[in-house]
A and B are shown apart, each in its own frame.
Chain A
Amino acid sequence: MTVHQISIFLENKYGKINEILKLLADENIRIIAATIADTSEFGIMRAIVSEPQKAYTILKKNNVSVHLTDVLAIVTGSSAGNFAQTLTHFTNAGLNIEYMYCFSINGKAILILRTNNREAAREVIRRQNLEYICESDLIKI
């Protein structure tokens, strides 16, 4: 139901992302999904990678400000309305979405989601019988 996500603190500085991506590439770690949000002063890159623990250790060793978190990974269809339908379940349960991003793979849309209450979110997934994936599934993709 949850997968590990690595979050990397980035300053707005030329070449910074490349530097970090290269560290991962050198260790043969694949980036499955990534997103960057920024404010005027700094940015946070969030990524789903093939070996999150290893990525975390490598980045840490190279003095990168990195954080490992659990996020929900839900499978939705790619037809019109599927996305909305999935999110409605969380809204109805009174949950706020802190951030989310999607990626599509083998015809499946995967929604990475973080809400303000993880336990309640898990409960929604169970009760609504939503399709989800685990870390082991992700790596096989």
Chain B
Amino acid sequence: MTYWQQDIETLSRKNLEQLQVERLRNTIQLATNSPFYKQLLSENNITAESIRSLDDLYRIPFTTKDDLRNNYPYGMAAIPLKECVRLHSSSGTTGNPTVVLHSKKDLDEWANQVARCMYMVGLRDTDIFQNTSGYGMFTGGLGFQYGAERLGALTVPAAAGNTKRQIKFICDFGTTCLHIIPSYATRLAEVMYEIGLDPQKDTKLHTICIGAEPHSEEQRKRIEQLLGVKAYNCFGMSEMNGPGVAFECTEQNGLHIWEDYVIVEVINPDTLLPVPDGEVGELVLTTINREAMPLLRYRTRDLTRIIPGECACGRTHKRIARFQGRSDDMIILKGVNLFPIQIETILMQFKELGGNYLITLETVGNSDEMLIEVELSDLFTDDYGVLQQLTKEITRQLRDELLLTPRLKLLARGSLPVQEGKAVRVKDLRKLI
């Protein structure tokens, strides 16, 4: 068994926790440079020196996505902008987006983190890695690019879409590994079979990294069968750099979360108290190896649990289970994160539409789709052209905001159930198959 960084990956729990305390102290020292944390930490009498053990972590208040929004764009920066070399931002144009800043060292550490993940699933510098993630602001693009280059793999930045072209690259370049969202992996396999290719015979693919979209164990097995590969689940989020936060090892039983990079907590989202290992709660992460923008006790809103016990791979870093949902209303569709409020804001700009709408997430074939049903307001035309034009225009604006194309359905007034109390705006009928 080989490791990318054996000393760190197999560090004893005691030493790992000692390392965490040291790094937490450094992080708090750094954090006081940011206007946001300077105030928060001084209000709570927290200084770097006052951190003696990991238990002192609980004295620090949580940081939320709203904090990031309210301090947009540079309010969380802990080093001068001059020393920052990269910025990633969430796509949302409706609410304030969030920004994550990176120094040169941060990018270096991030690349190491992703390389460590890739090495863990058996990828080496002899591999040819094709990244089907969107590039640009989406962290799955550059995150994997830098990680794969650090690993030394020949990296193909194919980016998203254009299935035929992806397949041509896979065949021509002898691609051995893909980073891909699970629904697209299925699609890719189907198209290969359609055009008479057998991925198991006609390609050199042996490993794929799948993530950014909820998927079940059954779906993973199906993808593995279809493509003749091993598929590994990866977890990342833009607030925590992006990909590389946690990754499955070859045991395929939980994702090791790199505890030399983050301190992991799982809390009850209602009481905000920690839950015992094995119980589902909200994942809370503290960065301890990032200088441009440290985040302390960041509430990810992702629900998961710690898998108790040791992993047969020998790594000592804790494992988290497959994600089980969200503690807020964020929707994850095709790897895109979005909130219902973004959709509502657009719909409400059209005076032709009433206030009642329903978002349905459904599985059509092997693809997850979004259907938005919205009632027409009182205003009405009997002209089809006008209605179709309206449908087109709303769809276009939604696509620009969400970066994916929903199916829009206009309804007569009064067709949707009247909402009483807390409105149910999202119906998730997706099958995790």
Contacts and interface: CB of A to CB of B under 8 A. Distances in A.
Interface of A: 5, 7, 9-11, 13, 37, 39, 41-42, 44, 46, 63-67, 69, 98
3 closest residue pairs by CB, A with B: A7-B382, A63-B414, A65-B412
Contacts of A41: 391, 409-410
B380 to A, nearest CB: 4
Interface string B373-417: 000100011111001100100000000000000000111111100
A41 B411 CA distance: 9
A11 B382 CA distance: 14
Nearest to B376: A65
B107 to A, nearest CB: 47
A39 B386 CA distance: 13
Nearest to B408: A41
Contact of B387 (A5, A42, A46): A42
Contacts of A63: 413-414
B410 A44 contact: no
24 contacts: A9-B376, A9-B380, A9-B412, A11-B415, A13-B415, A37-B384, A41-B391, A41-B410, A42-B387, A42-B409, A42-B410, A42-B411, A42-B412, A44-B382, A44-B384, A46-B382, A63-B414, A64-B414, A65-B376, A65-B380, A67-B380, A67-B381, A69-B382, A98-B383
A91 B411 CA distance: 35
A103 B389 CA distance: 30
B410 A66 contact: no
**Chain B contact patch, size range:** 10 to 19
Contacts of B415: 11, 13
Interface string B352-377: 00000000000000000000000010
A34 B411 CA distance: 21
A10 B387 CA distance: 13
A116 to B, nearest CB: 10
Interface of B: 376, 380-384, 387-388, 391, 409-415
B380 A66 contact: yes
A44 B414 CA distance: 16
Residue with the highest number of chain A CB atoms closer than 10 Å, among B376, B380, B410, B415: B380
Contacts of B391: 41
Contacts, number: 41
Given A7-B382, A44-B382, A46-B382, A65 B413 contact: yes
Contact of B382 (A13, A39, A67): A67
Main secondary structure of the interface of A (DSSP, over half): strand
A40 to B, nearest CB: 10
A46 B387 CA distance: 15
A64 B375 CA distance: 11
Contacts of B382: 5, 7, 44, 46, 67, 69
A9 B353 CA distance: 13
A48 to B, nearest CB: 13
Contacts of A98: 383
B384 A64 contact: no
B217 to A, nearest CB: 36
Contacts of A10: 412
A42 to B, nearest CB: 6
Residue with the highest number of chain B CB atoms closer than 10 Å, among A10, A42, A65: A65
Contacts of A64: 412-414
B353 to A, nearest CB: 12
Contacts of B376: 9, 65
A42 B411 CA distance: 8
A16 to B, nearest CB: 8
B3 to A, nearest CB: 55
Contact of A11 (B381, B384, B387, B412): B412
A69 B410 CA distance: 21
Given A11-B415, A37-B384, A67-B381, 16 more contacts: A5-B382, A9-B376, A9-B412, A10-B412, A11-B411, A11-B412, A13-B415, A39-B384, A42-B412, A44-B382, A64-B414, A65-B380, A65-B413, A66-B380, A67-B380, A69-B382
Contacts of A42: 387, 409-412
Contacts of B412: 9-11, 42, 64-65
Nearest to B385: A98
Contacts of B388: 39
Nearest to A44: B382
A13 B410 CA distance: 13
